[in-house]
């Protein structure tokens, strides 16, 4: 093959490879901040902390923790790009896969931000807050810093000013493997001014397959048992006044279950799993009872393992996870594993039932869903 034909040949190969690459790429980056107002964002807690100033998104009037700003949309796998600047002493956090309620930095994944480059371990700038310190310290004080995040489960890669500060396989980390795999992008209000700009995201293909257990309108797919009152109201299942159960028509095995829960004062209830189809086996109960120093507080595997220091209070929504897999089960409250056992004996299959266990009280549930665990 002469030189001219070789050039043509390699040009064809190059062009074809570029076409294949373009066809396989995910969507283009989409801006999350228009530089004019808070369109596309929702203030959680007390409003008024964040505002737009000279084209920057600024935490100007801090309302302090637990207030935060979240994206309107939830995301699973993505690339996120943004710039931030701290004009003085400050700290904040970018939260990935943040839940709607509860301890967002512990249920989701918080990338910690600080005004300086001091080594604070897992509280340093670029750390996965409270879990993994950064691989390197690379922030610039009082200047614009560029943060790049690639979250493609199970890999989380973070670059700060072109330096890799995190490259973690979350599936292999005991503290990260049960963090949410889908949620909001969150900007924390920790009481100090911080500026953001050029916030953009590109979605990557997802892999999660959740079964939504509640359609938000009625109790289709559930069976009522007992005297408690059950109703669907405003996207929420409301249980009240009595002792009884709401039981899924479907059975599940080797799964993760998620829900948000809010209780009236001193309410008592639970979530049962591995409930037998013949109703002769009610399975195990994940307790809901926000009374400190009781034998089985919220998050206990009732009668098997008491919960240790659950972070839940009456009148406030909290996030609850149940993992059931053969002899193993774990209960997580607001991102913290409060009870677990690897010696369960009941068969790992059955229905899920939510329980109301008290008169003159109320328990609300929303976002009830379940997913099959990967082998």
Higher pLDDT, 298 or 2: 298
Going by pLDDT thresholds of 50, 70 and 90, the confidence category of residue 281 is confident
Lowest mean pLDDT among 181-185, 281-285, 323-327: 281-285
- What class is the 210-372 domain? mainly beta
Query: Same fold for the domain at 27-203 and the one at 210-372?
Result: yes
165-195 in b/e burial notation, b at 16+ Cβ within 10 A? bbebebeebeebebbbbebbbbbbbbebbbb
| In the chain, % of residues over pLDDT 90 | 90
pLDDT at site 185: 98
Locate the domains of the chain by residue range: 27-203, 210-372
Per-residue pLDDT reduced to its tens digit, 288-303: 999 989 999 999 999 9
CATH superfamily of this structure's domain 27-203: Exo-inulinase; domain 1 (2.60.120.560)
Going by pLDDT thresholds of 50, 70 and 90, the confidence category of residue 26 is low
- pTM (2 decimals)? 0.88
Q: Is pLDDT above 50 for 80?
A: yes
pLDDT at site 375: 76
DSSP 237-259: EEEEEEEEEEEEEEEE-SEEEEE
Q: Is pLDDT above 50 for 58?
A: yes
Of 21, 22, 57, residue with least CA distance to 41:
57
Mean pLDDT computed over 3-23? 40
Going by pLDDT thresholds of 50, 70 and 90, the confidence category of residue 20 is very low
DSSP 253-284: -SEEEEEEEEE-TT--EEEEEEE-TTSS---E
């Amino acid at each position: 093959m002469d030189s001219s034909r070789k050039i043509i040949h390699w040009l064809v190969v190059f062009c074809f490879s570029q076409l294949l690459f373009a066809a396989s790429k995910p969507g283009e980056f989409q801006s999350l901040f228009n530089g004019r107002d808070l369109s596309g964002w929702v203030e959680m807690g007390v409003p008024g902390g964040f505002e737009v100033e000279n084209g920057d998104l600024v935490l100007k009037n801090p309302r302090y923790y637990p207030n935060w700003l979240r994206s309107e949309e939830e995301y699973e796998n993505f690339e996120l790009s943004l710039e931030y600047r701290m004009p003085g002493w400050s700290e904040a956090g970018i939260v990935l896969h943040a839940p709607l309620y509860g301890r967002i930095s512990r249920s989701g994944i918080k990338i910690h931000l600080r005004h300086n480059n001091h080594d604070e371990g897992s509280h340093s700038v670029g750390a996965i807050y409270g879990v993994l310190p950064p691989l390197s310290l690379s922030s610039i004080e009082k200047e614009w810093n560029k943060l790049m995040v690639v979250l493609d489960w199970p890999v989380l890669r973070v670059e700060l000013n072109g330096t890799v500060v995190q490259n973690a396989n979350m599936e292999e980390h005991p503290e990260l493997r049960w963090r949410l795999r889908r949620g909001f992008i969150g900007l924390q209000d920790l009481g100090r001014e911080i500026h953001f700009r050029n916030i953009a995201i590109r979605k990557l293909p997802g892999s999660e397959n959740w079964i939504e257990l509640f359609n938000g309108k009625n109790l289709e797919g559930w069976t009522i048992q007992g005297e408690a009152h059950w109703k669907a109201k405003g996207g929420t299942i409301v249980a009240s006044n009595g002792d009884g159960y709401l039981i899924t028509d479907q059975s599940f095995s080797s799964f993760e279950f998620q829900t948000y829960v809010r209780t009236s004062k001193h309410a008592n209830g639970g979530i049962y799993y591995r409930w037998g189809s013949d109703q002769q086996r009610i399975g195990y109960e994940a307790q809901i009872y926000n009374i400190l120093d009781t034998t089985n507080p919220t998050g206990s595997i009732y009668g098997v393992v008491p919960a240790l220091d659950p972070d839940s209070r009456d009148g406030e929504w909290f996030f609850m996870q149940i993992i059931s897999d053969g002899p193993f089960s774990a209960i997580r409250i607001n991102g913290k594993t409060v009870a677990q056992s690897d010696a369960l004996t009941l068969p790992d299959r059955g229905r899920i039932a939510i329980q109301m266990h008290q008169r003159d009280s109320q328990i609300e549930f929303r976002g009830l869903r379940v997913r099959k665990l990967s082998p």
